[in-house]
Each structure stands twice: as C-alpha cells, then as structure tokens.
C-alpha cells in the first residue's frame, strides 16, 4: 500500500518556518482542492493523480519518495 506523508511534510515545513501550515494554504499554493488534500492525508489507500503528487513535490521542495512511501501489507496488520 502507498502511504502519503502529507501531514508530516506540513508539520516539518511549519517547524522549519516557525509557523502553522494549513490545508487551505497548501490548496491555494498547489491548486489541489482542500477536500482532495484531506483525503490524501487521512484516507487509507486513497488514489490520487501524478499531477497532484507533482504539485506537492514542488510546494514542499522534496522528491516523490518523501511525499509517498510503500508500506508492505504485512506491516499494516
């Protein structure tokens, strides 16, 4: 299963910049709907587009592997 690290990236960016990063800010800067961001962050197994992943990589200035990671099904139990 693919696990998205959106909440962690938001927390890291907020810590580095000494401020709170919100879904509304990420939505405005990336063009990704706030509802979609919430689903990426909270819904297990959510399927998103490569355009969204590209926008998140650009916003957080990270590689794809930092936005999403593979977790074997055996580790989910």
Domain locations in the chain as residue ranges: 2-61
Res 74: pLDDT: 76
DSSP code for 61: T
- The CATH number that domain 2-61 falls under is 1.10.260
* CA distances from residue 48 to 38, 40, 51, 75 in whole angstroms, order as listed: 12, 7, 8, 22
Q: What is the pLDDT along the chain (77 residues), one digit of tens a residue?
A: 899 999 999 999 999 999 999 999 999 999 999 999 999 999 988 999 999 999 999 999 999 999 999 988 876 66
Res 76: pLDDT: 60
Res 39: pLDDT: 97
Res 15: pLDDT: 97
Q: What pTM does this model have?
A: 0.89
């Amino acid at each position: 299963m693919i696990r998205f690290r959106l909440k962690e990236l938001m927390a890291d960016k907020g810590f580095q910049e000494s401020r709170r990063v919100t879904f509304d800010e990420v939505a405005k800067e990336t063009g990704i709907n706030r509802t979609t961001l919430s689903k990426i962050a909270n819904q297990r197994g959510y399927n998103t587009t490569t355009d969204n992943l590209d926008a998140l990589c650009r916003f957080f200035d990270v590689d794809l592997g930092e936005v999403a990671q593979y977790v074997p099904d055996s580790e989910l139990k």
